[in-house]
């Protein structure tokens, strides 16, 4: 398409936001959470704040879907971090990083000032990327790895049964 000033657009896709290079979301992740994650990936290049806010929403929905329900996200994260059931307890990595999403999401949603410069604290692109990485870890923790482990256990139990052995514990 040629414009009167001599400039042109080769195709309309140049006008659309670029989708990040992140991999596909497992079909084990609930659709509404996966949709928010995909949107967070799509907007990160032009709005890290929006991406971080969507990551925060993903986190809260993941926690609530898995029984960690409280008055606010901070308390829900605490419930998750205090999980006594070792099969549901967060990994060391998640334990160290999950609260970052809440904090960056808060920077996105609220005008929080740096106490030394009095400037509003913004979310940087690499911080929004980190939020997406943590969400991917949450997907693995709650949806992907448990399903993979269950499938492998079923396959083992089928072999044991065929061999006349007791099923695995």
Q: What digits encode the pLDDT tens for the residues 83-121? A: 999 989 999 999 999 999 988 887 676 555 554 555 555
Q: Determine the Cα–Cα distance for residues 98 and 119; give it in Å rounded to an integer.
A: 26
Tell me the residue range of the domain where 29 lies: 12-162
Domain assignment present for 50: yes
pTM, rounded to two decimals: 0.79
Domain assignment present for 2: no
Closest CA to 129 of 54, 35, 33, 30: 54
Domain assignment present for 119: yes
Quick one: pLDDT at residue 27? Answer: 95
Does position 23 have pLDDT exceeding 60, yes or no? yes
Domain assignment present for 7: no
Average pLDDT, the chain: 84
Structure tokens at 49: 């704040």
Q: Determine the Cα–Cα distance for residues 119 and 132; give it in Å rounded to an integer.
A: 25
Domain assignment present for 62: yes
Helix, strand or coil, per DSSP, at residue 21: coil
Q: Determine the Cα–Cα distance for residues 55 and 6; give it in Å rounded to an integer.
A: 41
Q: pLDDT band for position 13 (50/70/90)?
A: very low
Q: Give the domain CATH number at 145.
A: 1.20.120
Number of independent structural domains in the chain? 1
Residue range 114-159, pLDDT digits in tens: 545 555 557 789 999 999 999 999 999 999 999 999 999 999 999 9
Beta carbons of 66 and 142 less than 8 angstroms apart: yes
């Amino acid at each position: 398409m040629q414009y009167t000033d001599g400039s042109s657009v080769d195709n309309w896709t140049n006008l659309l936001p670029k989708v990040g290079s992140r991999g596909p979301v497992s079909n084990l992740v609930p659709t509404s959470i996966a949709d928010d994650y995909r949107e967070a990936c799509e907007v990160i290049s032009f709005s890290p704040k929006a991406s971080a806010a969507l990551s925060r929403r993903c986190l809260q929905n993941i926690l609530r879907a898995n029984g960690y329900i409280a008055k606010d996200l901070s308390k829900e994260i605490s419930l998750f971090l205090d999980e006594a059931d070792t099969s549901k307890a967060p990994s060391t990595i998640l334990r160290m990083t999950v609260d970052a999403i809440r904090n960056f999401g808060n920077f996105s949603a609220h005008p929080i000032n740096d106490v030394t410069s009095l400037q509003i604290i913004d979310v940087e692109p690499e911080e929004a990327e980190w939020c997406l990485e943590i969400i991917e870890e949450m997907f693995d923790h709650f949806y992907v790895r448990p399903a993979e482990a269950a499938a492998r256990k079923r396959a083992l139990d089928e072999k044991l049964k065929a061999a006349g052995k007791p099923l695995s514990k």
